[in-house]
Amino acid sequence: MKAIAQRRETATLESLVDRVLCHDVRDAAGKVAVEKGARLTATSAATLLATPWDEIHVLAIEAGDLHEEDAGRRLAAAVVGDGVEVKGYGGGVTGRGVPPRARVEPRGRVVRAVERERLDEHLDRAAARETDLPRGAVAQERLDARQRARFEGALQQKAEWFGSRLLPVRFAGGAPRVIADELTALRRAGAEVLIVAGASALDPLDPVFGGLTLLGARMERHGAPAHPGSLLWLALWEGQLVLGMPTCGMFSQATTFDLVLPRILAGEHVDNRTIAELGHGGLLSRDMSYRFPPYRENAARGELE
């Protein structure tokens, strides 16, 4: 695919049809006129041209590319073709020990118990890592005053629960250089964990990703196979992780962000594979609440309200 920054003065109906819109576009009343991800038809392109904007970002579908809806249908057809073999998550073991002299069936598995001392040592390291770990956050300045206060309050509560400190949140403008400068300032202020909120994760030309490019950062993972929070992303900047918070995680909802952040704070190695493994049990419904931190006693685990 090819990302295009389409200026108003050169936009025509013909230049927009069949393009994929990277972000929501609102009308003069502030309502969403055309949603992100839409493949523009003549009708939706005409609607787009009637809305007030100076520049929009679209994708040109090239040979070999598939729209997500088409890809989803192909995946579904492939999965149900010859049936599904379910493999349980292999990240842990719950069960009784094997009795002495017990017969072990062929092809069976024997798992040796983890030494308690090693487990305690690991937990001690994680606890020490979480204590007073400074966190810095950059958010898009398009948030209004009410949204900013709510976002800062939610992030502050999460930081306090983990025993870490939240540095003053920086609300950045829409230029890549501004984003890069704010992230640099946070690191100089001592932030060991960097969080970016408000980026349009589906837009390759979003200023946040441009800022990361200016810094020489490398995208480790773009998107997670879990919901809510499928637009979580992870970048690596000179050995330091930059965690992209999905929009749904900016306030009170429990998302993939709340599963990944504790691992980072505990000093675990978090990378592309870590995020991919969230697909095991990836529908984060109330039944999955046990996986989230209990931020507040009077709220569901992972939530603040």
Angle formed by the axes of helices 257-265 and 145-162, to 10°? Answer: 40
CB-CB contact of 170 with 199 (8 Å) = no
How many C-beta atoms surround the C-beta of residue 41 within 10 A?
Answer: 12
User: What is the rounded distance in angstroms from the CA atom of residue 223 to the CA atom of residue 233?
Assistant: 5
Instruction: State pLDDT tens for residues 136-188.
Output: 899 876 778 888 899 999 999 998 898 888 999 999 877 999 999 999 999 99
* DSSP three-state, residue 245: strand
User: What is the rounded distance in angstroms from the CA atom of residue 19 to the CA atom of residue 5?
Assistant: 12
Burial of 54 (0-12, 13-18, 19+ CB in 10 A): exposed
In the chain the first and final C-alpha atoms are separated, in Å, by 40
Structure tokens that stand for 73 in this block: 């249908």
Please, which pLDDT band fits residue 205 given cuts at 50, 70 and 90?
A: very high
CATH 3.40.980.10 fits 122-291, yes or no: yes
The model's pTM is: 0.75
Bridge-based pairing of strands 32-34 and 25-26 is antiparallel
In this prediction, residue 251 carries a pLDDT of 84
State the alpha helices, DSSP H only, in the chain: 13-16, 42-49, 68-80, 116-130, 145-162, 176-188, 207-215, 257-265, 272-276
Q: Which amino acid would we find at residue 270?
A: V
The Cα-based distances of 216 to 178, 193, 212 in angstroms read 15, 17, 6
* DSSP three-state, residue 117: helix
In this prediction, residues 51-60 reach a mean pLDDT of 96
Least confident of 39-48, 85-94, 146-155: 85-94
Instruction: State pLDDT tens for residues 235-246.
Output: 999 999 999 999
Please, which pLDDT band fits residue 247 given cuts at 50, 70 and 90?
A: confident
Class of domain 2-60: alpha beta
Domain spans, the chain:
2-60, 122-291
